Amino acid sequence: MQVVLAQPRGFCAGVTRAIEIVERVLERHGAPVYVFHEIVHNQWVVNDLRSRGAVFVDTLAHLPAGSQVVFSAHGVSAAVVAQAQHLGLHSVDATCPLVNKVHQQAQRFVRQGRTLLMIGHAGHEEVVGTMGQAGAPVHLVSQVGDVAALNLPTGKPLAYVTQTTLSLDDTRDIIAALHARYPDIVGPEVDDICYATQNRQVAVRALAAQVDLVLVVGARNSSNSNRLREVAAHDGVPAHLVQDASDIRPEWLRAPALDTLRVGVTAGASTPEVLVQEVVAALRQRHAGPVVQLAGVREDTRFRLPVQLAVPVV
């Protein structure tokens, strides 16, 4: 077996920033620190922070006044922000700056008097947060077929924004369908798909071209990890999402006759490298062989912490 690693893979700058925010709040204020929703979609990360005093909640209603609460990297609605203030909570916003950029674009389109559409998956925290930040009703489009079913008010110009973690191919097809039906619709000046999503999807496509099987390390509820699996499968390679090494099935690893099985490994933007290395170790334990890392984009993006956390406690 040859194991081939995609580059880039794993943590992006927004995830790194969100986790550090929770760590800094714990360092400054001690446990418990409440986190509204999973800080990122990875159970290993969530469990690690929980072991250090983070408490993950899906409602703010019963938190004690004066509590420290961190909003997740996916962003929250304006109503959640207002509720935290009303309850006397001390909130720190860990929303990814690239998700915040989508919020701001949505608000600009609404201020321009446009009817707003959002391309995204219903119920995903980022979509809920963005629609709740727009300041006006938002029409959700999740797939190409939804475009034909739209019943939009007449006489108002249209605009769209997109969830940052979608498949580039799916987004492109939905946007094309929107332009075909509504030729005057406008979107952001640049893609809302974030650099990390784009880089990882380009990398997994390059990986799929060179291997017999792709394993994507990521949580089942991670949108960007699921999209990586879909991109690889779309290119005709068997692809599976694994949360950790225990999810690997022996039947996936049958080598072609008289040949070496080439297994590609990548990871979603919320997946720590430790899980990738555990998967690699498990593969090599079953079938020893070389590990090769493909050349790819080297990411050096860093996002600033919120002002109140920028200086570490001495």
What DSSP string runs through 72-96?
-TT---HHHHHHHHHTT-EEEE---
Instruction: Please say whether the beta carbons of 65 and 98 come within 8 A.
Output: no
Question: Smallest Cα–Cα separation from 125: which of 199, 170, 71?
Answer: 71
Phi then psi dihedrals of residue 218, to 5 deg: 180, 165
Residue 290: CB atoms within 10 A of its CB come to: 10
- Tell me the catalytic residues: 126
**221 vs 167: CA distance, rounded Å:** 15
Number of helices (H) and strands (E), helices first, in the chain? 10, 12
Beta bridge partners of 140: 118
Task: Tell me which H or E stretch contains 207.
Answer: helix 195-208
Q: What is the dihedral of CA 18, 23, 25, 29, to 10 degrees?
A: 170
Instruction: Please say whether the beta carbons of 40 and 19 come within 8 A.
Output: yes
**232 vs 266: CA distance, rounded Å:** 10
**239 vs 215: CA distance, rounded Å:** 6
**148 vs 209: CA distance, rounded Å:** 34
Amino acid at 120: G
Which own/partner pairs from 57-62 qualify as long-range (CB within 8 Å, at least 24 positions apart)? 60/34, 60/36, 60/84, 60/87, 60/89, 61/87
